[in-house]
């Protein structure tokens, strides 16, 4: 007889000599979730292009949980309240506060499966500076299932801070409501992804261009910043690494691609990919205040003139990286997902340059290698424009991040075109959970 609080499952034996099999039934307990902890996680800094949605992410498998069993387990533990120890310093957190916060999150989880509501925040670097915002944070809850899997529940609730320090207030508080509404801009109310999808504008006649290919925003801070344009029927389709995709209609007479309302930024008035064209070639496009340049293999550069390096020291802002944005190493332990790269260089003429200036001012002379010392493809360099207003000046290595492909230790190294014998390297470990 099976316990009413268990789900029956079984195993089939190997074939017996008489050609028969035996099916053995086992009892498997229902999945439950431990006490949840509420916290803010940093999702953007200095610029933001982020889709917020309510979903359950299994950080042990790096997959989104959609089963009713897991959803019910998470909802049940939220109903009992969420731990808010990180916000108790001011004495304002009570058992009632924890209960109310958990119940609100449980209700949001329940309604999200029916409404499918999503919220997008799209802010350029200039817009964030204009409202005195450095970072954008998302409210989440973390818990562990009875099967040992770690869970992060993400929500559509977000807030802003003027620096990189985690907010010490709760979602819905007065500080939270005012956090993203400072100075000149007062209209940061998010826009839900529009439905249904309206037809694209008609194709406009004009000269023939080929916008197909891969493009990347600088700096790359999330999966929305890298994508590909492919031809589809008489139009084109943009698909980014986050899996978001929408159709594009050619308007080559005006050097642009027009979007329809399946573009999640359409209701914000961001409706065109404005092409960057040179000698009949599409080199990139601007969209929503950001510039996306075509990803191409870089041709070898000639050795740079000027002072020759005699030695170098390579450091990272943090030598431990979380495997992904949803990993507890990031959400609970606060490891930096995009630590800065510091390079200090001494010259043969006795001069030296600090960790910031040399690699930017001499980007064409510096060669970073995130492949040779990384056989399991764990890390990658994030490149930024030397001058955001003049992309033709090239890019420099600004940050390091994980590829999300696994955990382990890798090595980042650097060399110089005008001093091939001068090298430096630094180890970095990609971790999961809190290891």
How high is the pLDDT of residue 218? 66
Q: Are strands 82-83 and 36-45 parallel, antiparallel or unpaired?
A: parallel
Least confident of 86-90, 202-206, 240-244, 257-261: 202-206
Statement: residue 434 has pLDDT above 60: no
16-74 per-position pLDDT tens digit: 777 777 776 655 567 888 888 888 888 787 778 888 888 888 776 667 888 888 888 99
* 8 A C-beta contact, residue 260 and residue 200: yes
pTM greater than 0.75 (yes/no):
no
What 8-state DSSP symbol labels residue 357?
A: H
Task: Output the CA angle 25-69-328, nearest 5 degrees.
Answer: 115
Is the pLDDT confidence value at 197 over 80? no
Q: Is the pLDDT of residue 6 over 50?
A: no
Judged against a pLDDT cut of 80, whether residue 389 lies above it is answered with: no
φ, ψ for residue 350, nearest 5 deg: 95, -10
Give all strands of the β-sheet with 82-83 in edge-to-edge order.
63-65, 55-58, 150-161, 135-144, 36-45, 82-83
User: Strand runs (DSSP E) across 107-244, as ranges?
Assistant: 118-123, 135-144, 150-161, 191-192, 213-217, 226-232, 235-240
Across 104-133, average pLDDT: 75
What pLDDT shows up at residue 188? 34
pLDDT tens figures, 58-74 = 776 667 888 888 888 99
- H or E stretch at 128: helix 125-130
Highest mean pLDDT among 10-14, 294-298, 330-334, 416-420: 416-420
């Amino acid at each position: 007889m099976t316990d009413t609080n268990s789900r029956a499952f079984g195993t089939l034996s190997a074939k017996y000599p008489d050609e028969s099999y035996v099916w053995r039934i086992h009892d498997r307990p229902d999945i439950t979730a431990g006490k949840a902890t509420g916290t803010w996680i940093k999702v953007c800094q200095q610029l933001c292009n982020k889709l917020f949605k309510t979903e359950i992410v299994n950080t042990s498998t790096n997959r989104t949980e959609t089963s009713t069993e897991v959803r019910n387990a998470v909802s049940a533990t939220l109903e009992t309240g969420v731990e808010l120890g990180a916000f108790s310093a001011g004495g304002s957190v009570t058992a009632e506060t924890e209960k109310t916060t958990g119940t609100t999150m449980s209700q949001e989880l329940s309604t999200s499966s029916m409404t499918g509501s999503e919220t997008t925040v799209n802010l350029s670097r200039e817009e964030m500076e204009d409202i005195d915002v450095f970072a954008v944070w998302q409210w989440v809850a973390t818990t562990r299932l009875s099967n040992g899997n770690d869970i992060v529940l993400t929500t559509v609730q977000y807030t802003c801070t003027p620096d990189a320090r985690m907010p010490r207030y709760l979602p819905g508080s007065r500080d939270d409501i005012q956090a993203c509404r400072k100075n000149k801009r007062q209209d940061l109310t998010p826009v839900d992804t529009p439905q249904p999808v309206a037809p694209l504008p008609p194709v406009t006649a004009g000269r023939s261009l080929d916008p197909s290919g891969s493009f990347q925003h600088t700096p790359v801070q999330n999966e929305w910043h890298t994508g590909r344009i492919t031809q589809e029927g008489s139009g084109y389709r943009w698909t980014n690494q986050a899996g978001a995709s929408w159709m594009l209609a050619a308007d080559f007479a005006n050097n642009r691609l027009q979007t329809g309302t399946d573009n999640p930024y359409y209701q914000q008035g961001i409706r065109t990919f404005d092409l960057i064209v040179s000698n009949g070639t599409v080199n990139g496009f601007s969209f929503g205040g950001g510039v996306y340049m075509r990803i191409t293999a870089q041709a070898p550069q000639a050795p740079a003139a000027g002072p020759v390096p005699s030695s170098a020291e390579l450091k990272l802002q943090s030598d431990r990286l979380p495997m992904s944005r949803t990993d507890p190493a990031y959400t609970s332990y606060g490891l930096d997902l995009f630590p800065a790269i510091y390079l200090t260089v001494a010259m043969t003429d006795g001069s030296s340059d600090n960790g910031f200036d040399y690699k930017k001012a001499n980007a064409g002379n510096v060669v970073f290698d995130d492949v040779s010392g990384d056989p399991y493809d764990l890390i990658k360099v994030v490149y930024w424009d030397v001058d955001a207003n003049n992309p033709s000046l090239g890019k420099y290595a600004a940050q390091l991040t994980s590829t999300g492909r696994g955990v382990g230790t890798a090595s980042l190294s650097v060399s110089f075109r005008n001093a091939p014998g001068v090298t430096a390297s630094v180890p970095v470990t990609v971790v999961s959970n809190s290891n």
